[in-house]
């Protein structure tokens, strides 16, 4: 299975309003942490997340989280 590109080795701290967002799973988007369609020629698809309450969220930047799209600290154990 292909591995995603590591966009950054820390989470993206985001203030989000209620709504639907598409989190970049491939790590290639120029609009990190959100999808810009760069996954087109990969085996990855973006992950839809629905935010129901405005607030601060930490979205994964390493693209290896087990709690997509939210950071779970996996970036701390990457080589």
The pLDDT of residue 79 is 78
The pLDDT of residue 24 is 98
Convert 3-34 to b/e letters by CB count within 10 Å (16 or more is b): ebeebeeebbeeeeeeeebbbbbbbbbeebbb
How many Å apart are CA 35 and CA 44, to the nearest integer? 11
The pLDDT of residue 48 is 98
Handedness of CA 79, 9, 62, 11 (dihedral sign): positive
Average pLDDT in the 45-66 region?
A: 98
- Say whether pLDDT at 21 is over 80: yes
At 51-61, the pLDDT tens digits run: 999 999 999 99
Spell out the domain ranges in the chain. 12-77
- Joined together, the tokens standing for residue 7 give 């966009």
Average pLDDT in the 36-48 region?
A: 96
This prediction has a pTM of 0.93
The pLDDT of residue 44 is 96
């Amino acid at each position: 299975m292909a591995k995603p590109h590591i966009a950054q080795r820390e989470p993206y701290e985001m203030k989000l309003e209620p709504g639907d967002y598409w989190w970049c799973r491939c790590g290639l988007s120029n609009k990190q942490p959100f999808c810009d369609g760069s996954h087109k020629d990969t085996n990855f698809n973006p992950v839809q997340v629905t935010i129901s309450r405005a607030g601060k969220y930490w979205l994964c930047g390493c693209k290896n989280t087990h709690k997509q799209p939210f950071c779970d600290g996996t970036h701390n154990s990457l080589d």
